[in-house]
Structure 1
Amino acid sequence: MKSIVIGAGLGGLLSAARLAKAGHEVEVFERLPLTGGRFTNLDYKGFQLSSGAFHMLPNGPGGPLARLIEEIGADVHIVRSEMTTIRVPLKKGKTDYAKGFKDISFNDFPSLLSYKDRMKIALLIVSTRKNRPAGTTLQAWIKAQVNDEWLVKFADSFCGWALSLKSDEVPVEEIFEIIENMYRFGGPGIPIGGCKGIIDALEAVIQASGGKIHTGQEVSKILVENGKVAGVVAENKEHNADIVISNLGHTATALLCREVLSEKMHSDYLKMLQTLKPSAGIKICLAADEPLIGHSGVLLTPYTRRINGINEVTQADPKLAPPGKHLTMCHQYVAPENIKNLEAEIQMGLDDLKEVFPGKKYEVLLIQSYHDGWPVNRAASGTDPGNETPFIGLYVVGDGAKGKGGIEVEGVALGVSSTVKKILG
């Protein structure tokens, strides 16, 4: 069976490698001159910066992405992160860290609540294991249950780091799926070699299985005949296929087959496309001679103005920086109304870092923004429309079609696993 994959990002290469291992004839078409998309390395001043996602798997070596990589047989080593911590002011209610702070364990977040609210949260967590809340946002649910400013700040920090959203934009049921996965699979981990370590390993599997990867070749059209996918057009040449998997998200995929999608029978799908909203964010990469965090997990920062989460990847893989240097990556959510004011958003993030790391010396290596056609996610978490399309044999994977309860790349892996299961039966 012939399968064509559009886009050599993480979702595309995972799909191609899995199908190639299953015996499919696979070809991947990528418009850029390199593979990986927003999941590869950028060599800058000897530092291995990431093109998009952190050099981190949110569920580490036990999560959906690690399991799929193992199933594929890709040679990737993932180091489990030591801990996830939360930086809070010494006195509750302060809005900055300049006058002192402490780091607490992620699991100890209820410690800043009153005894009564701690008991209530504990009971709610137990009860929601069986009866998931639904029909509201995380923030609205928190305020209805425990109206505490700290809990909202913590939720915003976690959602900003994990999903590039605020807690009032995330369906509460999605968050409980995410939390369930965190307990099921474990905390984060870092792949040796960073994002590119995974991309290179997937390419090796595809090529060893007889698959082909074409870079610098853009797909301009998806061919559909009688409601079934028939192939693609790339660089003015037709390529026939039984299966086509797009890593471009539903909206861009629809544009490639817009002639047949214009029929009335596809109106529901077209209406769904209009509801999709990408999420935006900013990443600030720092270089330092001394550790800024001191552990390989995530540092959440609920009391900053913009920065949500920070990770010091060289604590797990020192080779991601020159000898004796540390690489620290900081992420901040960008609200839709602030995308036009990115310079101001960046400055607030830089000001945050001065307070988060008072007295520390570091160099700002690179500032990267993700929005519009190059977003954090093509579909905001909790609104992913699934992997199927109106056409038989045409599927969508990647950050525009993640699996339920999957943080970022873990969601990409869940979506790919679901898609491949449908194809292989």
Structure 2
Amino acid sequence: MTENLTVEQLYEQARFNSYAEYLAEAVSCFNSEAYRACIIMTSNAVFHSLRDYIQDLADRGFRDAGIVIAEMNQAIKAGKAFEGVLENSLKNLAAFLPDDQLALREIRDKRNTSAHPNGYTGNRDDAYSVLKKAVNHFLSTRPDLPKLAMAKLLEDLESQTFFSSDLADDASRTVADAMTTIHPSSYNWLVNELQARVSADPEENDSNAVIFLCGLVRLEMPALNERIHNVFFKKRKGFDPTEDAVLVELVASYSQFLSMTVGEDRHRLDAMFKRFCEKFDNLPDADLLRSPQWLMNALEKQFSLSDAAMAYPVTVATILGKFALHTDFHYLAATDLKEMYITALIRSLQPQSSGAENVLAALLKEHEKFFSRYLSQADLKRIFEALDQAKRAGSQEDSFPELRHLRPAREMVHIPSEAVS
């Protein structure tokens, strides 16, 4: 057998454990070739150390740890050994990482065999294996208990003081710190729990569950974001309207969700974004992630704009159709969406759109250098013809003389003379 470390070296790694004296006795037994005794003393150190650790977690408010302690105490009161109860309770809670669970099972199995030998005399290999696993998994450091850590995180998340600041960067740091205690084996459970909380409280836009979820997304952890995508963006029965705003904030925080969503899921997401944008009569502050501006920004970040119009056609058409006159979108005149943008501008100038022509006139005047640079004479012709038609439908006043310097030549535009003073 090849031993990486001597038993004395293994002891040195765990000598600060509360039950190091048990391990010292186990080393003495090993060197005396009392291998069964070595196994029993080592396992005693492991299970007593684990019991104290679980008790400490219970004292600190870990709810599931308290359940394990209660079950152990009940077994002791009934005159039974607590070791089997401890192992089974942790297994049922999925508290241990798989490697730790296997190590604990091997230690307990060899302990039981050594305590009730039926001819088993113990051997050096078994004793060394138990010593090594005990030190590496349980005695030199405290073991990872991801399920218990997760339960504690979710309990803390219910506190109104979990996030000390409303700022996204501060919230992201809080989430990053919290995730240092969470093992990847618990990601699925975490995301499912967050989804349940988001669905149960959809109207509270700044709930801790939503803030934590968006903070997770911004960490850009591929395995975690894959799970978030599967839970929130792939739904056979379509998207829950109560989660619309949350999904918009998720794609604003991590635009890759847009390209990760394909096929029928993308069609449903496109329809959901349309429904979301239609709720707005006026655009909110541009700093608000749950807004058409940020949704368009995410599309532009993930695709070229022309590709975005093909990938999410209903969403892009809805944003342009409702908000082409807004200054937040005038930059589209300098992009691949210029033709769609101009068409949307002209459609905004319907007679029934009260004041739309004045809004467009103000937009052209305020950004005249931008538009004169990126719009051709033909583009300007179409816009001014629509302006004049809209104005004639309302009154016979001069059609924006202050913009006359932007107008193409009369012979090119063919504006009726009565429409221009």
TM-score (norm 1): 0.17
Larger CA Rg, structure 1 vs 2 = 2
TM-score (norm 2): 0.17
Structure having the larger proportion of residues in strand: 1
Structure having the larger proportion of residues in helix: 2
